[in-house]
Amino acid sequence: MKNRLKVGDKASLTKVISEEDVRQFAGISNDTNPIHLDDEFAAQSIFGQRIAHGMLVASLFSGLIGMEVPGKGTIYLGQDLKFKAPVPIGTRVTATVEVIKVREDKPIATLRTVCVNDAGEVLIDGEAVVRVP
């Protein structure tokens, strides 16, 4: 028996963004920007090292929403993302989604979606809008 979705419901996952993740994501997205793939180029950039694709890190929200909160049968309607800080390869990222609004008139909910590193620094902030089952 599933409880009705309510404000405050949340789910998290923690993942180290690996070299292999970044390489595979470059293939899927056609994003072979050297800032993600080329050590020498990245060392000369303002980041000083290679960083993961922002959209790769943001993809962690997708599974939390579709499998945890609200969970199975959820339809992803929208996602707003602010990339707040670069994510060097090897960063341990914790993604959290938390229900902040449930509409009374329609089966639509809004979730805050945040990724932080182990120091608690916000890497990505944003909101998702979903249709709940």
Q: Which residues in this chain contact its own copies in the complex, by CB under 8 A?
A: 13, 15, 21, 24-25, 27-35, 45-46, 53-56, 58-63, 66-67, 72-73, 75-83
Tell me the C-alpha distance between 30 and 39, whole Å: 18
CB of 127 to its own copies, least distance (A): 10
DSSP β-ladder status, 10-16 and 108-116: unpaired
Tell me how far, at minimum, the Cβ of 33 lies from its own copies, in Å. 4
Pick from 70, 67, 74: nearest CA to 111: 70
Burial tier of 10 (Cβ tally within 10 Å: 0-12, 13-18, 19+): middle
Minimal distance, residue 92 CB to its own copies, in Å = 14
Q: Which is nearer to its own copies, 28 or 122 (CB)?
A: 28
b/e 103-121 (16+ beta carbons within 10 angstroms → b) = eeeeeebbbebbbbeeeee
- The two three-digit tokens of residue 21, written as one number: 């993740």
- The least CB distance from residue 5 to its own copies, in Å, is 17
Q: What is the DSSP letter of 25?
A: H
The nearest distance, CB 23 to its own copies, in angstroms, is 10
